[in-house]
């Protein structure tokens, strides 16, 4: 087998020696040996961030994985994951030598480690109680969850962190606060959740030793003071119980339990006990063959020793959330000394020591990657592990609805801050998550240093850098789902909000222009806009302008509000211009109830015509303005000056001939050639005089207003029916 010549180590050195080491492997060598031979020339001269030789670190990690029952393949991955950093194209090199399955595992593990290192490096060493320290810890949790689709990645990182703690303790080197904080708040709880007690207890002891060295030495000293006496008593009690159980026909193996200092201190502090009263200083474990034997052994123990009230737990009938099963009891011997005893089957013990690793093995190579061992099937084993990780995440976040199975990814800013995004998110989603303004001005993106299109789907662990314009806004294309620019609903909402705000600004500007022109015509440019808005019931001038810009308030209503009220009734009478009796009921055809010979004129805002219900409004200097009773402007006038409203009715002129009244007709239709001609023909056919036409075309739709003269609006309804029959007309109505 030959590799392409350009393949080199990250340092630039050719990989000939590395390739030779694996091209012709020892037929007797296992996959771990082959992986170590591959990685040795790459790792021998390298060190970890803590200063440990990288090859020695990989050896220790592989040994830890072997100790918890990890298959040889995952042990081999420990070497390959560290070798990735020394290769320019690790997926290609490792894939050719070991297969794609190994390459994916190694690259994912290396990526997770690099992301964690960069996240720590992006922040200065922080006090453990600082807000940023908490954010950093949460970021590590999120990254572990993001990569936990492959359990092997999580196990490799657990073993690596344990070895770092071991080495620093052995070398008497201080642990970096960030490393210690991650171990205490992330890795040890994760080992606990996965049920890997062997790693959990050792990691907690090493963490406690680094955090409280004086207390650790004190408890260790107390344990050493009477070690020989305690061990003799332990051996005597162990042999007694084992012999007695075997005599009862129970195949039992009884052993002493290791003393975990962190656990002892936690019990002392949690229960307010002194050292002599901590039960698990004297602890035994009984391993039997079956569940029935567990309860039989418990029965014997409780018959021959005095149970301590409140110190019994049945984790067989009700297992812990991580699958742990065992019987726990505390009893006192004849001398009054307390003994903590655990009783479990061999299968339960295997799970208790190694957790999910006891139920999980890996193929030497293959696409599936997982093979169930103790679980009923590969599917059951994988679901069991995912449930543990899901429960762990819920424990940490307190959010029962947000779980591991949610499609989330985690990427980095250039400053190594972790950003959580939905699966399929793009650089535009990233920009809006970092800051709304950055999203609006986003114009380009680099992912891991390379320019990419803005609709590129991001992946876990990538570093994203946004190029932004100094000013500007989003593109409407970003809201086009087919183009794939946005996956986040929050980002989509922010884009829509920007366009809505832009539209509101344009509407407000249009309304401001209309109001200012009205003030110029009325000679009232000195009027305070705040005062005008308040007089019309608006909190701010912009609210008034937006309403006018939307055509929800007529300029006539504003013009009416510009004139101060004249409460004196005599002044009102002087404003009424009487007509000659012969002219009463002239062109207007309106009779003022209770009065005669008053000047009347139809209002231009609603253009009334018989037989519309009408009312009159006494104007200043222009007589009585006649409105339709459903006219919005009239309602405004009536609400503001009810005393100026008078009753009016339609009348028949002395000539007996009904006058014609102008009314406006609104027509909406599909814009096409000849549309105006066809509609005009309908009015001509009905002998209805058209005295004005306004048309506007918007996006293929024609908005048309016809001003026609009618003597009776009842006939207008018949004419509109004919207009609606014209091809393309969607709506025709009187305004």
CA atoms within 13 A on the CB side of 608: 27
Task: Tell me the angle at which helices 291-304 and 227-247 cross, rounded to the nearest 10 degrees.
Answer: 120
Class of CATH domain 220-359: alpha beta
Angle subtended at Cα 272 by Cα 266 and Cα 273, rounded to the nearest 5 degrees = 85
3-state secondary structure of 496: helix
Give per-residue pLDDT as tens, 160-173: 999 999 999 899 89
196 vs 188: CA distance, rounded Å: 9
Q: What is the token pair recorded at 520?
A: 């110029």
Q: DSSP assignment, residue 373?
A: S
Q: What is the token pair recorded at 330?
A: 């505390």
* Beta bridge pairs of residue 729: 669
Q: For residue 43, what are the contacts with CB-CB under 8 A and spacing of at least 6?
A: 53, 54, 55, 58, 79, 82, 83, 86
467 contacts 415 by C-beta, under 8 angstroms: no
The secondary element (H helix, E strand) that includes residue 697 is strand 690-698
3-state secondary structure of 600: strand
Would you state the pLDDT for residue 378? 41
Can the peptide bond before residue 611 be classed as cis, meaning omega within 30 degrees of 0?
A: yes
Would you state the pLDDT for residue 578? 40
The domains of the chain are located at 16-207, 220-359, 409-487, 499-561, 569-650, 661-734
- Strand segments, DSSP code E, in 484-634 are 590-592, 600-602, 614-618, 624-628
184 contacts 85 by C-beta, under 8 angstroms: no
Q: How far is CA 637 from the centre of its chain?
A: 52
Would you state the pLDDT for residue 297? 95
Which of 104, 120, 194, 128 has the alpha carbon at shortest distance from 158?
A: 194
Burial 538-561 (b: 16+ CB within 10 A, else e): beebbebbbbbbeeebebbbbebe
Would you state the pLDDT for residue 589? 64
Q: Which residues of the chain have pLDDT under 50?
A: 1-28, 124, 279-280, 357-387, 389-406, 568-588
3-state secondary structure of 592: strand
420 contacts 429 by C-beta, under 8 angstroms: no
Q: What is the token pair recorded at 143?
A: 């990254």
Which backbone phi and psi does 469 adopt, to 5 degrees? -75, 160
620 vs 636: CA distance, rounded Å: 16
669 contacts 675 by C-beta, under 8 angstroms: yes
Would you state the pLDDT for residue 398? 44
Would you state the pLDDT for residue 313? 93
Q: For residue 100, what are the contacts with CB-CB under 8 A and spacing of at least 6?
A: 367
Q: For residue 235, what are the contacts with CB-CB under 8 A and spacing of at least 6?
A: 256
**Strand arrangement, sheet containing 661-670:** 690-698, 701-710, 661-670, 729-734
* Beta bridge pairs of residue 101: none
Class of CATH domain 661-734: alpha beta
Residue 623 backbone class (left: φ over 0; alpha: ψ -120 to 50; beta: rest): left
466 vs 430: CA distance, rounded Å: 9
483 contacts 475 by C-beta, under 8 angstroms: no
Burial 201-211 (b: 16+ CB within 10 A, else e): bbbbbbbbbbe
CATH architecture, range 409-487: Roll (3.10)
Q: What is the token pair recorded at 447?
A: 């992912």
Q: What count of other Cβ atoms lies within 10 Å of the Cβ of residue 59? A: 18
Three-class HEC string of 210-236: HHCHHHHHHHHHHHHHCHHHHHHHHHH
111 vs 107: CA distance, rounded Å: 6
Q: DSSP assignment, residue 109?
A: H
Would you state the pLDDT for residue 455? 92
Give per-residue pLDDT as tens, 2-19: 333 333 444 444 333 333
3-state secondary structure of 47: strand
Q: How far is CA 539 from the centre of its chain?
A: 36
The CATH superfamily assigned to 16-207 is Hypothetical protein af1432 (1.10.3210.10)
3-state secondary structure of 212: coil
265 vs 212: CA distance, rounded Å: 11
Would you state the pLDDT for residue 347? 86
Q: What is the token pair recorded at 60?
A: 């220790």
Q: What count of other Cβ atoms lies within 10 Å of the Cβ of residue 590? A: 22
345 contacts 320 by C-beta, under 8 angstroms: no
C-alpha distance across the termini of the chain, in Å: 86
């Amino acid at each position: 087998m030959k590799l392409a010549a350009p393949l080199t180590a990250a340092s630039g050195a050719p990989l000939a020696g590395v390739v030779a080491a694996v091209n012709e492997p020892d037929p007797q060598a296992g996959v771990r040996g082959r992986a170590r031979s591959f990685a040795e020339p790459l790792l021998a001269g390298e060190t970890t961030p803590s200063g440990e030789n990288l090859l020695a670190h990989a050896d220790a990690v592989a040994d830890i994985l072997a100790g918890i029952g990890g298959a040889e393949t995952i042990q081999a991955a420990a070497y390959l994951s560290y070798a990735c950093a020394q290769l320019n194209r690790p997926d290609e090199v490792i894939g050719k030598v070991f297969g794609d399955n190994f390459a994916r595992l190694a690259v994912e593990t290396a990526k997770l480690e690099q992301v964690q290192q960069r996240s720590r490096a992006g922040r200065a060493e922080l006090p453990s109680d600082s807000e940023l320290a908490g954010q950093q810890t949460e970021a590590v949790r999120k990254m572990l969850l993001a990569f936990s689709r492959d359990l092997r990645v999580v196990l490799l990182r657990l073993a690596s962190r344990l070895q770092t703690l071991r080495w620093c303790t052995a070398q008497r080197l201080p642990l970096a606060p960030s490393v210690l904080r991650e171990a205490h708040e992330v890795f040890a709880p994760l080992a606990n959740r996965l049920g890997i007690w062997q790693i959990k207890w050792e990691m907690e002891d090493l963490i406690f030793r680094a955090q409280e060295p004086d207390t650790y030495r004190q408890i260790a000293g107390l344990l050493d003071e009477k070690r020989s006496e305690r061990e003799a008593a332990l051996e005597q009690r162990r042999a007694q119980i084992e012999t007695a159980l075997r005599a009862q026909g129970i195949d039992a193996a009884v052993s002493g339990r290791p003393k975990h200092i962190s656990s002892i201190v936690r019990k002392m502090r949690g229960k307010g006990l002194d050292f002599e009263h901590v039960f698990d200083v004297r602890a035994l474990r009984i391993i039997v063959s079956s569940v029935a034997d567990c309860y039989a052994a418990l029965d014997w123990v409780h018959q021959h020793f005095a149970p301590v009230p409140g110190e019994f737990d049945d984790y067989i009938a009700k297992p812990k959330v991580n699958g742990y099963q065992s019987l726990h009891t505390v009893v006192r011997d004849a001398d009054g000394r307390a003994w903590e005893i655990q009783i479990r089957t061999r299968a339960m013990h295997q799970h208790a020591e190694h957790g999910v690793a006891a139920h999980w093995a890996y193929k030497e190579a293959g696409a599936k990657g997982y093979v169930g061992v103790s679980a009923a099937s590969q599917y059951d084993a994988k679901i069991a592990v995912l449930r543990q990780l899901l429960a762990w995440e819920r424990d940490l976040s307190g959010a029962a609805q947000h779980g591991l199975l949610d499609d989330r990814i985690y990427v980095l800013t250039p400053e190594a801050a972790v950003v959580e995004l939905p699966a399929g998110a793009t650089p535009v989603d990233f920009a809006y998550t970092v800051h709304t303004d950055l999203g609006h001005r986003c114009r380009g993106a680099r992912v891991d240093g390379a320019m990419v299109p803005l609709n590129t789907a991001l992946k876990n662990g990538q570093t994203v850098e946004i190029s932004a314009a100094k000013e500007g806004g989003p593109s409407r294309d970003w809201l086009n789902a087919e183009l794939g620019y946005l996956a986040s609903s929050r980002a989509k909402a922010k884009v829509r909000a920007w366009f809505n705000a832009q539209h509101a600004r344009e509407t407000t500007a249009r309304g401001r222009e209309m109001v200012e022109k009205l003030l110029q015509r009325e000679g009232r440019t000195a009027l305070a806009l705040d005062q005008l808005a308040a007089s019309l019931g608006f909190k701010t001038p912009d609210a008034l302008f937006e309403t006018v810009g939307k055509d929800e308030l007529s300029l006539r209503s504003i013009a009416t509000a510009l004139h101060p009220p004249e409460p004196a009734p005599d002044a009102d009478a002087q404003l009424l211009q009487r007509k000659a009796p012969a002219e009463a009921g002239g062109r207007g055809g309106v009779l003022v109830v209770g009065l005669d010979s008053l000047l009347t004129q139809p209002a231009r805002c609603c253009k009334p015509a018989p037989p519309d219900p009408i009312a009159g409004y006494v104007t200043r200097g222009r007589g009585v303005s006649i409105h339709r009773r459903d006219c919005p402007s009239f309602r405004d006038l009536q609400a503001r000056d009810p005393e100026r409203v008078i009753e009016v009715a339609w009348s028949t002129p002395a000539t007996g001939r009904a006058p014609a009244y102008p009314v406006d007709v609104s027509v909406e239709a599909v814009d096409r050639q000849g549309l105006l001609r066809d509609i005009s023909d309908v009015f001509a056919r009905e002998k209805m005089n058209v005295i004005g036409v306004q048309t506007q075309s918007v996006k293929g739709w024609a908005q048309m207003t016809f001003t026609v003269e009618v003597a009776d609006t009842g006939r207008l309804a018949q004419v509109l029916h004919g207009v609606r029959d014209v091809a393309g007309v969607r709506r025709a109505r009187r305004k």
